[in-house]
């Protein structure tokens, strides 16, 4: 079954995205007046931002307008369309208003390209920057939205942002308006947007196919794990009832106890007096899937870290998200990681000596246990479970380490191919995103000419019109800046 899934899905990243002709370079170029542009097509203009935009400070009188969200991947969108749950103010009266075609910049995250052009009227943080075009003729809003988040402009934001440390860098209006922007003829901008939108449909399809493949592979992997950690390896072993709805029976010789009885001391935490320059790898909930990492931990200094970056994690621990439990974020720390710090949104679980650490990890990531955690969580928009309540949930283990190790060997052998296929699909998603970013940058800065490229129009379904396929794990971290402002 795994071979069939790979054949139908994993070919896509190696297949070029189709077009009737490939983009090529423009016939003639001239040196740009600013270094980041290098050269631009000879017929393009370029001016500093102050000749294109002006800062706007319009405030909401009612606070009832749509809340807008700013992401480095999808720009400015209504927060109601985003799968994020975060800080909400008691009132939004006095928050900044943004109108259609305004540029909105998350001032603290501009260095990560958290900005874009709004399609809607809505409200944003008072700390955000809002800029309005001086006229509607220079830029097509959709072209500008692509241009603003190119890597080259991101470097300009980094160089022009100021702050006492990296996590507090801010891009102020005078610095943003001093940046030079290329301005192609309007009809070329329209052509670029048409081309890139068609490519985006194809990119979303590729990424979603990969995600579906990962989901299918994980389901098959979890089925192997679930059976092994609830029924053991001997199909003829006598069973006993547990009285637990999610685990009705287990091998008769296994021991069933509340989770807390299988755990030892709590993980230590970083002190508030930790030296500011202390560096570590930070693992947030957005980095963790069910049994695997969705993104690499971020290296940072203590002075730049969020207040939730506190729990010291070591080899053999299992981390389980106690907030937003529907995300099913559970991960076993298999390798030595001397400077790994986890969010306080995780429970860090360390087994007693009579339990193999890896087996505890498998039990906690089994679908039966995770579903029980979700049902025991409290809250609708932001479901969470306390560590005390988590500790009361029953789990079962074989009493002998020999049997535990045999189960581990079985799981490793049976799931190795799935792990390899999942890793391959994740790598391909990364490559697809990188391809999209490079293509956008090359086109909107004039490195490639698409004026004569014909693309067959493809219908965009409602599902494909959503932006979630382009999101990554950093998106919600940026949204959290609202709460700090």
Q: CA separation (Å) from 267 to 7, 270, 343, 344, 391?
A: 43, 10, 12, 11, 15
Residue boundaries of the structural domains of the chain:
1-44+187-232+403-454, 48-183+469-485, 238-397
**DSSP annotation string for 453-467:** ---------HHHHSS
Q: What is the pLDDT of residue 20?
A: 52
**Fold adopted by 238-397:** Adenine-n6-DNA-methyltransferase TaqI; Chain A, domain 2 (3.90.220)
Instruction: Tell me if 121 sits within 8 A of 96, measured CB to CB.
Output: no
- pLDDT confidence of residue 458: 61
What secondary structure letter does DSSP report for 292? S
The confidence band for 167, taking pLDDT boundaries of 50, 70 and 90, is: low
- What's the confidence (pLDDT) of residue 221? 94
The answer to whether residue 105 scores a pLDDT higher than 80 is yes
Buried b / exposed e across 57-67, counting CB within 10 Å, b at 16+?
eeebeeeebeb
Q: How confident is the model at residue 163 (pLDDT cuts 50, 70, 90)?
A: confident
Q: What is the pLDDT of residues 246-266, one digit of tens each?
A: 789 999 999 999 999 999 988
Kindly tell me if the per-residue pLDDT of 485 is higher than 60.
no
pLDDT, residue 14, reads 43
Per-residue confidence band for 212, with pLDDT thresholds at 50, 70 and 90 = very high
pLDDT of residue 15: 40
Instruction: Kindly list the distances between the CA atom of residue 208 and the CA atoms of 215, 292, 428, in Å, as whole numbers in the listed order.
Output: 10, 18, 11
Check whether 61 has a pLDDT greater than 60. yes
**296 and 254 Cβ atoms separated by less than 8 Å:** no
Question: Contact, 441 vs 47, CB < 8 A?
Answer: no
Name the H helices within 182-240. 186-231
The answer on pLDDT for 90 being more than 80 is: no
Q: Which of 17-21, 81-85, 424-428 is predicted least confidently?
A: 17-21
Mean model confidence pLDDT for the chain: 87
Mean pLDDT calculated for residue range 312-323:
96
**Over 50: is that where the pLDDT of 479 sits?**
no
* Contact between 104 and 70 (Cβ < 8 Å): yes
Nearest to 329 by CA among 375, 298, 283: 283
Average pLDDT over residues 215-239: 94
pTM > 0.75: yes or no: yes
pLDDT at 476 over 50: no
Q: What is the CATH number of domain 48-183+469-485?
A: 3.90.220.20
The per-residue pLDDT for range 338-382, each reduced to its tens digit, is: 899 999 999 999 999 999 999 999 999 998 999 999 999 999 878
pLDDT in the model for residue 1 = 52
**Is pLDDT at 172 greater than 60 in this prediction?**
yes
12 vs 16: CA distance, rounded Å: 8
Burial class (CB in 10 A: 0-12, 13-18, 19+), 409: exposed
Q: Give the pLDDT confidence score for residue 381 in this predicted structure.
A: 79
Residue 457 has pLDDT above 90, yes or no: no
Q: What is the per-residue pLDDT for 210?
A: 95
* In contact, 168 and 108? CB cutoff 8 Å: yes
pLDDT at 222 over 60: yes
**3-class SS of residue 62:** coil
pLDDT at 83 over 80: no
Confidence of residue 106 (pLDDT cuts 50, 70, 90): very high
Q: In angstroms, rounded to a whole number, what is the distance separating the alpha carbons of residues 48 and 131?
A: 14
Locate tokens 């621990």: which residue? 317
The DSSP code sequence of 141-186 is: HHHHHHHHTSHHHHHHHHHH-B-SSGGG-B--HHHHTTSEEEE--H
Q: At what angle do helices 2-9 and 186-231 cross, to 10 degrees?
A: 180
Q: Identify the residue with better confidence: 217 or 305.
A: 217
pLDDT of 465 reads 46
Q: Quick one: pLDDT at residue 34? A: 84
Cβ within 8 Å of residue 171, ≥6 positions away: 105, 107, 110, 111, 129, 157, 160, 161
Tell me the C-alpha distance between 399 and 392, whole Å. Answer: 20
pLDDT digits (tens, 9 = 90+) for 118-141: 999 999 999 999 999 999 899 999
Q: Is the pLDDT confidence value at 238 over 70?
A: yes
Q: What is the pLDDT of residues 31-60, one digit of tens each?
A: 998 888 889 999 999 999 999 999 999 999
Whether pLDDT at 82 is above 50 = yes
Q: Answer whether 48-183+469-485 and 238-397 agree in fold.
A: yes
**pLDDT tier for residue 469 given thresholds of 50, 70 and 90:** low
pLDDT(73) > 70? yes
**If you average pLDDT over residues 320-347, what whole number do you get?**
93
Task: Determine the average pLDDT of the residues in 212-226.
Answer: 93
Torsion 25-26-30-31 (CA) sign: negative
pLDDT of residue 474: 46
Mean pLDDT, range 91-117, rounded to an integer: 92
Indicate whether 11 pLDDT > 50: no
Structure letter (DSSP) for residue 220? H
Average pLDDT over residues 224-230: 94
> What confidence score (pLDDT) does residue 483 get?
37
pLDDT for residue 218 is more than 50: yes
Which pLDDT belongs to residue 193?
Answer: 96
């Amino acid at each position: 079954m795994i071979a069939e899934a790979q054949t139908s899905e994993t070919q896509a990243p190696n297949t070029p995205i189709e077009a009737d002709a490939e983009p090529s370079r423009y016939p003639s170029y001239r040196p740009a007046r600013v270094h980041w542009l290098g050269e631009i097509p000879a017929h393009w203009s370029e001016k500093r931002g102050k000749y294109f935009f002006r800062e706007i400070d319009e405030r909401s009188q009612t606070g009832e307008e749509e809340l807008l969200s700013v992401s480095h991947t999808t720009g400015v969108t209504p927060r109601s369309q985003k799968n994020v749950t975060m800080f909400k103010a008691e009132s939004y009266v006095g928050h900044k208003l943004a109108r259609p075609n305004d540029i909105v910049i998350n001032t603290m995250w501009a260095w990560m390209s958290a900005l874009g052009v709004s399609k809607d009227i809505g409200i944003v943080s008072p700390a955000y920057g809002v800029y309005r075009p001086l006229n509607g003729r220079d830029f097509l809003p959709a072209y500008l939205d692509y241009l603003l988040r190119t890597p080259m402009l991101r470097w300009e934001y980094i160089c022009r942002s100021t702050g006492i440390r990296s996590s507090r860098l801010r891009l102020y209006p005078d610095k943003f308006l001093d940046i030079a922007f290329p301005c192609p003829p309007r009809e070329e901008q329209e052509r670029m947007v048409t081309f890139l939108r068609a490519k985006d449909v194809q990119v979303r399809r590729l990424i979603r196919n990969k995600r579906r493949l990962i989901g299918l592979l994980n389901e098959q992997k979890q089925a192997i794990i679930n059976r092994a950690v609830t029924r053991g390896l001997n199909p003829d072993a006598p069973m006993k009832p547990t009285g637990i709805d999610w685990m009705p029976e287990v091998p008769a010789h296994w021991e069933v106890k509340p989770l807390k009885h299988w755990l030892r001391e709590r993980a230590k935490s970083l002190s508030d007096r930790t030296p500011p320059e202390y560096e570590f790898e930070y693992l947030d909930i957005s980095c963790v899937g069910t049994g695997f990492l969705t993104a690499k931990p971020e290296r940072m200094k203590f002075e730049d870290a969020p207040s939730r970056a506190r729990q010291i994690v070591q080899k053999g621990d299992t981390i389980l998200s106690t907030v937003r439990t529907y995300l099913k974020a559970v991960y076993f720390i298999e390798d030595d990681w001397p400077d790994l710090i986890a969010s306080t949104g995780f429970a860090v679980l360390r087994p007693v000596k009579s339990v193999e650490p890896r087996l505890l990890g498998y039990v906690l990531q089994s679908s039966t246990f995770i579903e029980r955690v979700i049902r025991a969580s409290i809250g609708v928009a932001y479901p969470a479970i306390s560590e005390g309540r988590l500790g009361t949930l029953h789990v079962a283990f074989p009493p002998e380490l020999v049997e535990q190790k045999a189960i581990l060997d079985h799981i490793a052998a049976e799931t190795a191919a799935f792990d390899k296929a999942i890793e391959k699909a994740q790598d391909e998603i990364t490559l697809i995103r990188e391809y999209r970013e490079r293509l956008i940058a090359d086109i909107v800065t004039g490195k490639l000419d698409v004026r004569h490229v014909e693309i067959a129009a493809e219908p965009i379904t409602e599902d494909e019109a959503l932006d979630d396929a382009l999101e990554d794990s950093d998106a919600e971290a940026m949204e959290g800046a609202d709460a700090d402002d």
